[in-house]
Amino acid sequence: MKLRSLALGLAVAGQLAALAVPAAAQGLRSTPLLGGGQPSSRFDSGPRSADFIVAVVNSEPITNNEVRTRMLRFEQQLAQQGSPMPPRAQLMREVLERLITEKAQLQLARETGVRADDALVDQAEQTVARQNGVDVPELRRRLAAEGINVALYREELRNQILLQRLRERELDARARVTELDIDQFLREQQQSGAATALTEINLAHILVAVPENAPEAQVAPLQAKAQQLLQRARAGEDFGKLARENSDAAGAAQNEGVIGLRPADRLPPLFVEAVRNVNSGGIADLVRSAAGFHVVKVVEKRQSATPGVTVTQNHARHILLRPGPNLTEAQARQRLAEYKRRVQGGQADFAQLARENSQDASARNGGDLGWTSPGMFVPEFEEVVNTLAPGQIADPVTSRFGVHLIQLLERRQSTLTQREQREVVRNLLRERKLDEAYVQWAQEVRGRAYVELREPPQ
């Protein structure tokens, strides 16, 4: 069983812009660490073919094997998501450029004191395990079975956390959203009569791959195969089974072709257009992309921020500790774990502990955060809240704000008010501004780095 990709909750997807991939297709808030197909050779603990240096960034090398590994990852993602596949030579150049950019950013993170201790890497590893429905020992066993070196995998997790923290620190001030920004967005939505940006769609698809520049004689039977799969799906055959057995998309055997719920403006435009008039459960007409033919099913379609729509809201409270000169992150996690033990043992009251110890404005309310709609918390916080049952307390979790002890008090279905709609729009616009700010900032960091290009990657 192959492992699903990790989503660490990065708030920027502009890093992918150079690949000409729609930001939504890459998850916008996530940086996958495993491609979902064949094991990444970067983590392979076995013998490797001869390698060579293709570039040097401020004295640190990038090797040909690193480029090839990242190439494989992107090719798998592009094929699975139905995004256009750039010519291989172009993609290789762009992958190398992204690796150069990442290397420069990691160096800046370390030079400016950004850290990710083992406890935070442990948390990321637990996230991967939870997403795959296993515990950490089983996760490591499966990694080893796929030829992936666990120590190097954890180092990759650490690097992604460093990049996340650096970007949050550098970009937060550049992504402020004003009330005028929200007013303008809502006016534009009303004038256009469209709410694409506020529509969330969960799609599943089957890819019948077509080789680049294939002659018509080769394309015709592949199109006929795709058309037959479309007819079988519309006739009521199990779509997941059809995807597992027939899709050429990477990871289809595990995820049954499901892409996942995402805002429509962050999905491949070809898919969005194909399902525009297709209701949940329906199947669109055959879609042709540079990767091949796609049979696309609408798993779910909903308006995420329209007044009158019912959403799931959570009522939670937390205790926040901010690591600093007198408190390490590990110490904060230990202290919060002790608070959890005392509350569960009936030796302490959560609200009182929050009033006495929490380092944010909610402390005076016993840590109470009130009712919140989806998207109101940072991803790493919200993901944990969504896994809790009412009354349950999570293990300490780290976000950009510090280390949290979270308890879910209640959960309900609620209709969005106008105020709540504006908050959802605010979060959407902030993500867009983060994308734009990231591109400019990344160019600045890249421009300050000394880069020496050597042999071209192969």
pLDDT of residue 135: 82
* Cα→Cα distances 12→170, 230, 376, Å: 11, 36, 16
First to last CA, the chain: 30
At 299-352, the pLDDT tens digits run 887 765 455 567 788 999 999 988 876 777 788 888 999 999 999 999 999 999
- How many other C-beta atoms lie within 10 A of the C-beta of residue 268? 24
Structure tokens at 338: 């002790």
pLDDT of residue 47: 39
pLDDT of residue 338: 92
pTM over 0.75: no
The torsion angles phi and psi of 52, rounded to 5 degrees, stand at -155, 160
* Cα→Cα distances 279→27, 227, 235, 442, Å: 23, 20, 16, 40
Question: Which residues, 6+ apart, have CB-to-CB distance to 135 below 8 Å?
Answer: 129
Instruction: Please state whether beta strands 310-321 and 402-415 pair in parallel, antiparallel, or not at all (unpaired).
Output: antiparallel
Structure tokens at 297: 């099913």
Domains and CATH numbers, the chain: 14-173 (1.10.4030.10), 199-303 (3.10.50.40), 310-415 (3.10.50.40)
pLDDT of residue 214: 84
pLDDT of residue 148: 79
pLDDT of residue 91: 82
pLDDT of residue 407: 95
To the nearest 10°, the Cα dihedral for 129, 130, 135, 141?
-20
Q: Long-range contacts for 46-50 (Cβ within 8 Å, ≥24 apart)?
A: 46/147
Low-confidence ranges of the chain (pLDDT < 70): 1-50, 77-85, 130-133, 189-198, 250-251, 253-254, 265, 303-309, 325
pLDDT of residue 301: 79
